[in-house]
Amino acid sequence: MNKQLLNNLGLLILALIFSTGLIFAFIEIPRLLDTSLQNRFGFPQFDQGAGEINALKTEIFIQGLRLRWIGYGSLILILGLIIFGYSTKRSGWALAGAVGLFIPIFGEFALSMFFLAGLGLLRVGWLPFLEVTTFDLLDLGKVIYVPYWVLTWFFGIFKWDAHAFLTYLFMGSGAFLFTWGVLIWFKSRYNRVKVASGWIYKISRHPQYLGWILWSYGMILFTPFLNEMKRSWSVPSSLPWLLMTMTIVGICLLEEIKMMAITHGEYQKYRNTTPFLFPLPIWLNRIISWPVRLISKSDYPTRRIQVLWIVLLYTSLLMALSLIWVDLKRSGNKVADSEKTQTELAEIITSLNDLGDNRRAIYPLVAEIAAYGQTGLDSLLVLASHSNPIVREFSIQQLGQHKIVAAEDVFLHHMSDSIWRVRASAINATAAIRSGKAIDSLLDMLSNPNVKNNLFHIYRALGAIEDPKAIPYLAEGLEGEEWYNQNAALEAIMAIDPQIGIKYAIEELQDEDIHVRRNAVTLCILSGNPKVISPLKEVYKDEDFEVRFYAKQGVKRIQVKD
């Protein structure tokens, strides 16, 4: 009895060490490598937003390091691993390919591995998809969010934002199932049992894979995709996760064919009484497994080619369903002239009053109001004065994004709001409509110490409005303490008067802050002015790799065009 207890305890400890170590390594090793690439080797930093400047940086980076060739080669390698694994029954190779599909998701999860930073280079395998601009190809996996949407809707009935709970629920349950599956598998191997069928294996024939799928699903929910900051060359998580999961499903089917050959009827008996991945009602399981029976003419595939066709069919069906949520550049406005529409708007506005400071719940509702056309925009004009500052912030934001000139006075009024986020939305909105009336107010704000949090937005707005009288004020901003404010001021000067801006950009090439120097290099390249060639060559020996890299690539680019 004591010996059996000690054996079980030892196997439990081994399973915990194995599972914890694997999960830790999958998160921590990429982080450490990423940090090393950036800090020790000075690898170029990430591209943190869309726009002309970041698009230029991305394009230069891709061309300078020949990443298109590497990207297409990486994609071919990943697909080759999967095909090789399927065709040779070596599931480990296919699993390696599946992990390769999933790796870019770490860029969304860790928020440190963007396209232009460290291991963000692993995203390069998705370049062939990212460069397809007809519609958002990488969103063809959005069907995977249906369970999350259903659960958040259900908990929303009880006024509970369950996002964090669901994230940790999926990750925690996945890690638990994986560890439990490893433990029972170890016990089966230790006892020399051919078919593991006890405990968790009575619930799922592939508990480790199920655990991995649930854990990774929780991880992609970790980074919110509502109100997500736009990043050029970012990789949405849905399609990589869908392709990885379907590849794993195929691996499971291949392993079952192998188990049938090894154990003969023993595995068949087990398979007939245990769910594939997780328990489902019989009627639902029959519906979901219908494509399997269609292809294999039985309940289970018996040949590798059948597994391949099954995976392709399910993947295609799920991608087709995802089209419901993919933005095909069609108008999303709702008809707003019916009594039903007025009722719907009233219900949405009423629900806003009960959400308190729940930003995640308020944002999509305000965005939905904007989709009701002119009637919705009229409602947003009223909500711009709502007592809840979060409602004010997002209402003004939507009005600005839709460039509603009629709201100009509303924007000007809220530039002096007591909440800095509301001020930021108002300032950005005046920039969106290029409000000439806002110039004097913006310049006055620069001398107000209470709006320090809004300096970045003020500089950006002045650049968008392009009034030359703002240049002296922006020049003073170049002496500021925060590098991001300095960069915004320089970009604004360049937008107002490129000739004057070039002079300041060349001076900023010698700034002490590397972030300022990096921005100055990019702006010099963006100008295309031959005058910057000599100053750019002077920073070839800069201590920062990124400054050196872009300076050299920029000189080549300008000389070719000159």
Q: Average pLDDT, stretch 513-538?
A: 91
Could you say which of 465, 496, 512 is where a domain stops?
Answer: 465
Same domain, 297 and 186: yes
Coil, strand or helix at 96 = helix
Q: What is the pLDDT of residue 118?
A: 38
Q: Mark whether 231 and 347 lie in a shared domain.
A: no
In a domain, 519, yes or no: no
Q: What is the pLDDT of residues 56-76, one digit of tens each?
A: 776 676 666 666 666 566 666
Does 394 lie in the same domain as 312?
A: no
Distance CA 369, CA 489 (A): 34
Rounded to the nearest 10 degrees, the angle between the axes of helix 67-88 and helix 304-322 is 130
pLDDT at 461: 94
End residue of a domain, out of 322, 354, 380: 322
| Residue 433, in any domain of the structure | yes
Q: Model confidence over 103-124: pLDDT tens digits?
A: 555 544 443 333 333 334 455 5
Q: Decide: pTM greater than 0.85.
A: no
Percent of the chain with pLDDT over 90: 24
Q: At 546, is the pLDDT very low, low, confident or very high (cuts 50, 70, 90)?
A: confident
User: Which of 415, 448, 465 is the endpoint of a domain?
Assistant: 465
Distance of CA 368 to the CA centre of its chain: 22
Do 259 and 317 share a domain, yes or no? yes
Q: 484-489: which pairs have CB atoms within 8 A and are 24 or more residues apart? A: 484/456, 484/515, 485/455, 485/456, 485/459, 486/511, 486/513, 486/516, 486/519, 487/515, 487/516, 487/519, 488/455, 488/456, 488/459, 488/460, 488/463, 489/459
- Together in a domain, 234 and 187: yes
Tally of domains within the chain: 2
Same domain, 273 and 406: no
pLDDT at 8: 56
- CATH for 445: 1.25.10.10
Return the amino acid letter for 377.
L
pLDDT tens for each residue of 19-56: 555 555 555 555 555 556 555 555 555 444 556 676 67
Range of the domain at 362: 331-465
The answer to whether position 508 is within a domain reads no
How big is the chain by its Cα radius of gyration, in Å? Answer: 28
pLDDT at residue 432 in the model: 93
